[in-house]
């Protein structure tokens, strides 16, 4: 697989979005501009956009088959307590249905404490207040020792999408978020570059909860924020993933496993819960300074 093809594969998502915008802009401008040289050039924009989209679609299948998988990188769980897994790479890869935004091996975690109930989907209001969910406000921790390279903490926490109609609304909303890039999909988030060169991202954080800044050095297990419902999220949960570079635009997902979990009542160890399985993580102090 050539370097050029892999480079094109890395930028396939922004290329697709840029091509779509080019087609739309070219079509609209062609309708309003008077005839002339400028209009003739603008009329070519939809063709340019189609070429870009075709290139992105054609490069994806062959390039994705040559991605290096390797063994999972063992990291600290970003949460403690009892959590259920959704969209887990232990069930399927890519876990979220696509490899875009470096999320091929991402996992979603929802809090299900033994003494607390998580609202049932389809019951109650179509869009619930996020404070009804036990995950909202729970501590989110760094998964690796390293340096903070990205912090975003400004997006609001919207109401949970807790009915079929509300999820349909979220899907349409998600299409609009796509135009803004990964930041508007993952919402408030923190990315830490590990000492081994892997980039660990935790997302959908509560607005105003982030406790670190870019350039800070953090330890695995250190609190970096709180669980929220920002970005393209149906309910408060923690989205965690590893990437091979800082940018979710061009980063490829890296397999991960948690070092400190007990899945479905098993003994603590290295593992990852599958969809619907619960994991329990004991409270631990951050890793010592190196």
Q: Are 268 and 202 in contact (CB under 8 A)?
A: no
What pLDDT, in 10s, does the model give residues 146-168? 999 999 999 999 998 888 888 78
What pLDDT, in 10s, does the model give residues 6-60? 666 677 777 777 888 888 887 887 777 777 776 677 677 777 777 776 776 666 6
**Beta bridge partners of residue 148, listed in sequence order:** 192
The alpha helices in 151-241, defined as continuous H runs, are: 164-179, 182-186
**pLDDT over 60 (residue 239):** yes
What pLDDT, in 10s, does the model give residues 249-285? 888 899 999 998 999 877 788 999 999 999 999 887 7
Supply the pLDDT for residue 52.
75
Joined tokens for residue 180: 């803004």
What pLDDT, in 10s, does the model give residues 220-235? 999 999 999 999 999 9
- What 8-state DSSP symbol labels residue 187? -
């Amino acid at each position: 697989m050539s370097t050029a093809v892999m480079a094109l594969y890395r930028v396939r998502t922004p290329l697709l979005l840029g091509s779509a915008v080019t087609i739309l802009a070219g079509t609209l401008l062609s309708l309003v501009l008077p005839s002339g040289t400028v209009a003739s050039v603008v009329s070519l924009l939809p063709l340019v956009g189609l070429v870009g989209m075709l290139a992105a679609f054609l490069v994806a299948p062959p390039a994705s088959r040559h991605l290096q998988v390797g063994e999972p990188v063992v990291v600290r769980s970003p949460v403690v307590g009892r959590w259920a897994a959704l969209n887990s790479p232990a069930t399927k890869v890519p876990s979220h249905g696509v490899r875009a935004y470096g999320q091929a091996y991402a996992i979603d975690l929802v809090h299900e404490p033994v003494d607390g109930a998580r609202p049932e989907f389809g019951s109650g209001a179509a869009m619930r207040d996020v404070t009804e969910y036990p995950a909202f406000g729970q501590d989110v921790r760094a998964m690796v020792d390293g340096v903070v390279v990205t912090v975003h903490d400004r997006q609001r926490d919207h109401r949970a999408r807790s009915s079929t109609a509300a999820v349909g609304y979220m899907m349409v909303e998600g299409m609009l978020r796509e135009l803004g890039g990964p930041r508007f999909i993952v919402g408030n988030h923190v990315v830490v570059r590990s000492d081994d060169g892997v980039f660990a991202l935790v997302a959908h954080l509560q607005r105003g909860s982030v406790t670190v800044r870019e350039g800070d050095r953090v330890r695995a297990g250190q609190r970096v924020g709180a669980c929220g419902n920002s970005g393209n999220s149906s309910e408060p949960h923690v989205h965690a993933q590893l990437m091979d570079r800082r940018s979710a635009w061009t980063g490829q997902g890296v397999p991960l496993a948690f070092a400190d979990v007990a899945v479905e009542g098993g003994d603590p160890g290295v593992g990852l819960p599958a969809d619907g399985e619960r994991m329990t993580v004991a409270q631990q102090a951050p890793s010592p300074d190196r």
